[in-house]
Structure 1
């Protein structure tokens, strides 16, 4: 059975019941369909709260978080610490054997600094799947936070430093490592067009027009860009759907349509 990578973040992390319901569905996937699952998460809402408590302000550029180096201890502590371990603890309550990880563990991914002046923000590249392969074979649920590490390619001056990674990009890397299906969960039922209707599928050309018109904006822009990157790399469609009806995930692997399907350019 092909693995399934599920990315979560944002509002679901503030709703304990919704997270529990999603993890219960993941347990059913493992038990009833023998589907290996990896859960990848961000947690911008928690990061914002912890930065505010520490006296820092949060800024974004094109939907991506600006990350001054002095904020990384707080951001890594929030994502790889508080959020990651809360998900692991909740997973254990529904019978899952969860293991909390970051992109840096097991040399899963190596990062380079984002060149767009975002600070300690990394662009991840898939490296080794050995750790994930071992955990999935043993029926664990890897829970991967979007904290990465700068690699040593070209003897980069920042090698070994921790960086913040967009969680959608982190999910793409994990998907590439495992040749897995990818599901990006958000707090809406999919991508809307300019009339406010949800689209069953979306091509890159359509997305460009919606972004240009401001229909797709902010964090959704980053999510859609990551989804198209994944779809084009994997040469298959990617689902963007809501975590508010997690039972739909049980039908996804049987070919049912949920949310908005992101169509790779080679299939458009």
Structure 2
């Protein structure tokens, strides 16, 4: 059992927690995602953030929440090499700092940073809920920056949803044309978001 303490939606990561996180993210979960894509006919390239150093990071919050990192760079060449041969990069959100220390990076923050760095047109963050919910647990289908931060202040948006929302707005600010939080439990959620007018979650707007 590992410590499940969070601060502003980020997992406090002690040295012992980091060891577990590294194994789960870089091996177990990375392999699981890759295998599922392959079952459906896709080709993948598993990128371990530690061994490939695809994600550069620096310690977050002066180390007050342990080995938690903020993205500070990516190795575009590794990612583009996979994309050019039609392989889907499966990137474990583990960063490496200037001293070669491994840092636990929030997965949504990492995804958004990679999308920004590659100048991606769309960012879809899959969640285990319908999208952003209001106080009555009803889906908010569209959300702009002003309304989002009002919800954060009121506590409507909280915990792990906070870094998701912040990541979305950072990506929009840096040029993405579309960002959405969608229900990853829903069958064909990605296709629904891309190909239908109703989408599959919450559309994030500037």
Give me the TM-score of the superposition, normalised by structure 2: 0.89
Over 3 Å counting, the alpha-carbon distance change for 1:188 and 1:57 in structure 2 is closer
Kindly indicate which of the two structures has a greater share of residues assigned to helix: 1
Measured in 1, the distance between the counterparts of 2:165 and 2:202 equals: 10
Aligned partner of 1:40 in structure 2 is none
Aligned partner of 1:263 in structure 2 is 205
How much does 1:69 deviate? Answer: 2.3
Native 8 Å contact 2:179 2:203 kept in 1: yes
**RMSD value over aligned CA atoms?**
2.0
**1:1-268 maps to which residues of 2 (within 5 A)?**
52=1, 56-104=2-50, 106-115=52-61, 117-150=64-97, 152=98, 159-180=99-120, 181-234=122-175, 236-254=177-195, 256-258=197-199, 259-264=201-206
The count of residues paired between Structure 1 and Structure 2 equals 203
Measured in 2, the distance between the counterparts of 1:70 and 1:195 equals: 38
Give me the TM-score of the superposition, normalised by structure 1: 0.69
Q: Deviations over 1:76-109 (max 9, x none)?
A: 0111011111222222222222121134565533
- Structure 2 counterpart SS, 1:215: coil
Native 8 Å contact 1:113 1:121 kept in 2: yes
Structure 1 unaligned segments of length 5 or more: list them.
1-51, 153-158
Native 8 Å contact 2:47 2:54 kept in 1: no
How much does 1:255 deviate? Answer: 6.8
Native 8 Å contact 2:13 2:65 kept in 1: yes
Measured in 1, the distance between the counterparts of 2:84 and 2:166 equals: 31
**251-260 vs 69-78, which moves further:** 251-260
Measured in 1, the distance between the counterparts of 2:168 and 2:100 equals: 28
Measured in 1, the distance between the counterparts of 2:110 and 2:82 equals: 18
Measured in 1, the distance between the counterparts of 2:165 and 2:149 equals: 10
